[in-house]
Amino acid sequence: MTALSVIIPIYNEEGNIPALYERLKKVVSAITPEHELLFVNDGSRDRSIQLIKEFTAKDSTVRYIDFSRNFGHQIAVTAGLDHAKGDAVVIIDADLQDPPELIAEMYKKMKQGYEVVYARRRNRKGEGWLKKTTAKYFYRILASITSIDIPLDTGDFRIMHRSIVDVLKQMPEQQKFLRGQISWAGFNQTFIEYDRDERHAGKTGYTYKKMIRFALDGITSFSTLPLKFASALGFIVSIAAFVTSLYVLFSKFVMHDAVPGWASLMLVVLFLGGVQLICIGIIGEYISRMSANVRNRPLYVVREMK
């Protein structure tokens, strides 16, 4: 029996693994002896996997999954969720930006009857202005265009109950945006606040390219608003086109000041512009429904049944 699993995605973290192990082990042992530390090596190019294997040899609670190449942070965590055995599962970064000591508080809060306790950043140290600002606005824009409650300023650092892990395992979507999927799953969720530390050693594995892809995954998985944009634009353009057409007709037949050919040309351009955008919008409506089907999420999640 495993009471508590800790999933740690690892991409080039050799400078952090020993300190992380020490701090995690101390916190987790105090909570329960029935724990496991599950490292997921996401194609690191440094000595991370050797270090992990040394810990596995010394400590039977340390397990690992070693990827054949770099698949990305969300996929690494997903692999961890697939293989974690605990009744409660923690996701934590390896770089000690998420203080392991908070797990004790999260665990306690979970025992008060919450299925998810996530850690919300009060502020974040040692990160560039650009990263902080883009992250801040990304979460706010996402929150405003989606119908589920995705918490602001929150990463994947959290504890969750087995029932949530089982829901996540039923979501076969290829583009993972776990923090959104967890909100989608429902149940009782709450948060604690913390100050995010600087990276202990090494440098970020999240390049801007990876961050942009992640942001787009989040938006496309949890909002169809961008797809519906064409319909909205189509209506606005059509109304504007109608008003302009009236002006064109007025100018030709009442004022008689139109250059020959201008009026007919204008009418065709305005009409086609509106029709095209509306048609793209209709296609968008179908695609948004198709993408929901392709995602193949469960239709509902049951808390209890008799």
Site for Mg ion, residues 74 to 93, rule: CB under 5 A: 93
* Distance in Å, CB of 72 to ligand UDP, minimum: 5
The continuous run of DSSP H or E covering 122 comes out as strand 116-124
Question: How far, in Å, CA of 244 to CA of 270, rounded?
Answer: 8
Check binding of 39 to ligand UDP (CB under 6 A): no
Looking at the DSSP assignment, which residues form a beta bridge with residue 10?
Answer: 41
Write out 240-261 in H/E/C secondary structure: HHHHHHHHHHHHHHCCCCCCCC
Check binding of 56 to ligand UDP (CB under 6 A): no
First to last CA, the chain: 27
Check binding of 100 to ligand UDP (CB under 6 A): no
Which of residues 13 and 153 has its CB atom nearest to ligand UDP in the complex?
A: 13
Q: What residue 178 binds from Mg ion, ligand UDP, none (CB within 5 to 8 A, per partner kind)? A: none
Q: How far is CA 214 from CA 208, 211, 218, 221, in A?
A: 10, 5, 6, 10
Interface pick for ligand UDP out of 6, 13, 139, 266 (rule CB under 6 A)? 13
Whether 117 contacts 158, CB under 8 Å = yes
Buried b (16+ CB within 10 A) or exposed e, 92-119: bbbbbbbbbebbeebbebbeeebbbbbb
Taking contact as CB under 6 A, which single stretch among the options 102-110, 138-146, 203-211, 270-278 is the one that binds ligand UDP?
A: 203-211
Which of residues 210 and 228 has its CB atom nearest to ligand UDP in the complex?
A: 210
Interface pick for ligand UDP out of 36, 42, 115, 217 (rule CB under 6 A)? 42
Interface pick for Mg ion out of 95, 98, 153, 217 (rule CB under 5 A)? 95
Structural tokens at position 265: 């040309």
Check binding of 78 to ligand UDP (CB under 6 A): no
Q: Report which of 92, 110, 114, 115 is spatially closest to residue 194, judged by C-alpha positions.
A: 92
Check binding of 97 to ligand UDP (CB under 6 A): yes
Interface pick for ligand UDP out of 91, 94, 185, 270 (rule CB under 6 A)? 94
Positions in the binding site for Mg ion (CB under 5 A): 93, 95, 97
Binding positions for ligand UDP, rule: CB under 6 A: 9-11, 13, 42, 70, 72-73, 76, 93-95, 97, 204-206
